[in-house]
Structure formats: structure tokens, C-alpha cells
Amino acid sequence: SQQGEEDPQALSIQEGENATMNCSYKTSINNLQWYRQNSGRGLVHLILIRSNEREKHSGRLRVTLDTSKKSSSLLITASRAADTASYFCAGGAPHGGSQGNLIFGKGTKLSVKP
Amino acid sequence: ETGVTQSPTHLIKTRGQQVTLRCSSQSGHNTVSWYQQALGQGPQFIFQYYREEENGRGNFPPRFSGLQFPNYSSELNVNALELDDSALYLCASSMGGQGIDTQYFGPGTRLTVL
């Protein structure tokens, strides 16, 4: 089953505009991660925010986390055509062993037009 | 690019057959996780191996099995293939014993079951 739900499912913007994607999740998490996937290939890690953090920045990326609402948002500023990809949020959830596993949402498909 | 490699890139099998997929983890990583990604969906956690032992399993039947070798590379085996097993199979490596942190994904193996 999917942990997270991204919103919107698809987003189309012009180069230079900002893109905001939202994610809601269901269960307790240790952290919330965002990944990018180009055309059905491997996932690339973008940013991780821990459950005790509220906001984090990395280059043109800004992530927020609201554990009371079980939601997160990813903002990409000054978007470029190369940002065109699917973006997934993933909750890092503990299980019995020393490692947890990632529980992914269905993703937001971002299209940035030149 | 991550240092995680997967083979083969593509594979076509028929229903009822068996398949083995391979993954080499990034240097220094001792944990490998496997995910199944159906078309248009987010990746779903299959299982995880840490120091050659299974360390957590998602909601997949026993015909999905795996191995991790002393060099931390890993195999995913699927028996009695079904049409619904057609998907992109992703492996991810990480460091164990640190909770659920960043995972580094390989490019995936695209399995088609006819």
C-alpha cells in the first residue's frame, strides 16, 4: 500500500516559474524524503527532512514538514526544463530491524516548458 | 549517478517462469532494499537485506525471495511469474544501523511478463 499521496498528480509550468508539490502521509515516520525520477529510470535522492525539523533548503529546493498534519511540501524555485520529471515523497518508517524502509506515494509529474 | 548497478536492464519472461535480478551496492554500503514499481505508481517495498540477513519485508508473497552476498551485492528471485509482476524493479543501497536514511537507487531492471 502507498504511504503518501502527492498533490497535484501532474503540474505543467513555464521555465522560471516556481513549482510546488504537496505530500500527505498516513503513519508515523522518522523522516520524509523527496526523490526525482526521469522517464521510468532510477530514483535520485533530492532532500531529507527529519521528523523534528520543520523546514530545509538545498539549492533551489525548499521542503517543509508538518507532522501534526502529516504533510510535506516541496518547492522548486526558478524551474528549468531539466527539472521535468516525476517527483515522489517517501516516508522513512521504522520496522523491527535496525533499518526501516521507504514508503512512497504515487508521485507528481512535473513538466517545465522552455 | 549513484554507484549502484543493476542487471539486466531489460528482461522478457513468460508466465510461470522464474527470474533472477542482480544488484551491486555502492561501495561502503551494507544494506540493500528492493522495490517494485508498476507503471504510473510509486515504488513498493519488497524486502531489505542487511549484512546478509533479511531485515524487513513488504506485502509480497513468498515467491519473491532474495539473497545478499558477503560483498553486499544482492539478488532478487521471483518464481512462478505472473502477468502482474511486470514492472520496474529497483534496488537501493544504504548504510545499516543508522535508521532509515538516504537510499541510493540503481537504474532499475524492466521486467515484462508475457
Per DSSP, the residues of A8-26 read: -SEEEEETTS-EEEEEEE-
pLDDT at A27: 79
At A3, the pLDDT band (50, 70, 90 cuts) reads low
Q: Kindly tell me if the per-residue pLDDT of B98 is higher than 70.
A: no
- pLDDT of residue B97 exceeding 60, the answer is no
Rounded mean pLDDT of B23-34? 91
Whether pLDDT at B2 is above 80 = no
CB contact under 8 A, A96 and B104: no
C-alpha B93: how far from its chain's center?
10
Nearest to A45 by CA among B11, B8, B90: B90
Inform me whether the C-beta atom of residue B108 falls under 8 Å from chain A C-beta atoms.
Answer: yes
The pLDDT score that the predictor gives to residue B56 is 84
Query: What is the predicted pLDDT for the residue at A57?
Result: 97
* Residue B95 to chain A, least CA–CA distance (Å): 9
Q: What is the per-residue pLDDT across A15-72, written as a single tens digit (0 to 9) for each?
A: 999 999 999 988 788 889 999 999 878 899 999 999 999 999 999 999 999 999 999 9
Q: Which tens digits make up the pLDDT trace of A65-96? A: 999 999 999 999 999 999 999 999 988 876 54
What local confidence, expressed as pLDDT, does residue A28 receive?
A: 82
Give the pLDDT of residue B12.
98
Cα of A55 vs its chain's centroid, Å: 13
Residues of A in contact with B100 (CB under 8 A): 30-31, 92-94, 99-102
Does the beta carbon of B97 lie under 8 angstroms from any beta carbon of chain A?
yes
